Structure 1
């Protein structure tokens, strides 16, 4: 276990968001790694997730974002500095939240903003005729860290809500001014590279770090580069906190 960062008197918190149809277990190594370094980390279970796929079927995207913002408020109440983090859809939610709330920094892993499957553009109609689809398959981690918590099927009504969330996030990106750390897997069967390209092009952050992941699939937070993600995130947040505590003259 790594030693906590030395920061006398300062309390740093992280609100972290899991991905679509998953659960907090998908980001557990990331959360636990930051907690071991002294961060106060909270990972809320989004409505409709971590229970039964039928529960996800009836949820709306604003329920997910409101749940995460409530977690942010709790973290802010306990800490002096607040950071956001998210995986996949959780990355989109973290970015949208950063456009609405004052935070010291944001870290995202394989954030979603679009889809590989062209049929999603017709999801508004398809969801009325087809109830579910099979989840996207990806290779298992070489050293799995617990159960990822995914559902055996994906309700298309929820995919429609996911698309609406991505659209809302895209519109909000120009309002994201917090420092951004972005990780992207070279081989990601779930989120296309265009999502990251658009995020990096549209955010207003003047402090952006991009870290390619060469050995991880989509859920990189549970794969062989999980420790790298923890270490780079802790270093980035530490630098952001120092910058927030000692802003440049005229900033």
Structure 2
């Protein structure tokens, strides 16, 4: 299956001290994480950003994948980093944040810290309850990609949302919400004040549900959902680098 231009996975091998796993969002691709990855690589960190199964190709292919496929992908990439780096951090955008939380729940102290941007664990949309039923009769609905405030910036994402895959994402949300108490790692939680895709309540539920003693929240006032490509991207990059340094200092 041909991969869309810009949606290719990327990696950078450098330091054996710090590795960072970047996880992109639902119907998106590594393109949304590439500037963040470059920034981290320039700091000397080892970086990996996989293309999740069913992403960066066609929404029809995405409909043939499930959350377990996406999780297995990031878990494998994490293990690769863990074999070569002393500390491995997981950074995620949107559903990438959901997957990051699941890694933290399953892997415990092996995850050095989490930096999440507009992570999702639920939706308030009433029609979301119908996803399992709709998936049997409706292949796709209007896409959710490209929610960016900065003029002229386009996110390579699907124009349609694959309904069966979205139903699987909702099942992942439920599991992650139920296990939020298992998250004890240091966390940097960055979320947009205006987000047309993931409601702000998501970050509140996460902040109140985890047991991280080192939890820092950063409000993004000048970006929409895909904040890693938006006006607040430099702030996200800088704060995430500070976060890695602070966690490493405490652990030393």
Against the structure 1 CA distance between its residues 10 and 154, is the aligned structure 2 distance closer, same or farther, given a 3 Å change threshold? closer
- Cα distance in 2 for residues equivalent to 1:56 and 1:87: 18
Aligned residue for 1:19, secondary structure, equals: coil
1:216 pairs with 2:226:
no
TM-score by length of 2: 0.90
Asked whether the 8 Å contact 1:143–1:224 carries over to 2, the reply is: no
Q: Matched residue of 1:224: which SS?
A: coil
Aligned to 1:113: 121
RMSD: 1.4
Structure 1 contact 143–223 (Cα < 8 Å) conserved: no
5+ residue gaps, structure 2: 1-14
CA distance in 2, matches of 1:138, 1:228: 18
Partner of 1:177: 184
Q: 1:103 matched to which residue of 2?
A: 111
1:15 aligns with 2:24: no
In 1, the alpha carbon distance for the partners of 2:88 and 2:220 equals 25
Matching residue of 1:26: 32
> Is the 1:116–1:191 contact (alpha carbons within 8 Å) kept by the matching residues of 2?
no
State the number of aligned residues. Answer: 235
Q: Distance in 2 between matches of 1:53 and 1:103?
A: 31
Question: 1:154: how far off?
Answer: 1.0
Higher relative contact order (CA 8 A, sep 6+): 1
Structure 1 runs, 4 residues or longer, greater than 4 Å off? none
Which residue does the alignment assign to 1:141? 150
TM-score, length of structure 1 as denominator length: 0.90
- Per-residue Cα deviation, 1:40-98 (whole angstroms, up to 9, x for no partner): 11001100001111110010111101100100001111211110110000001001101
Give SS of 1:233's match.
Answer: helix
Native 8 Å contact 1:116 1:190 kept in 2: no
DSSP 3-state at the match of 1:128: helix
Question: CA offsets, 1:141-190, max 9 Å, x none?
Answer: 3252xx52211111110110110111111122111110000000011000
Aligned to 1:5: none
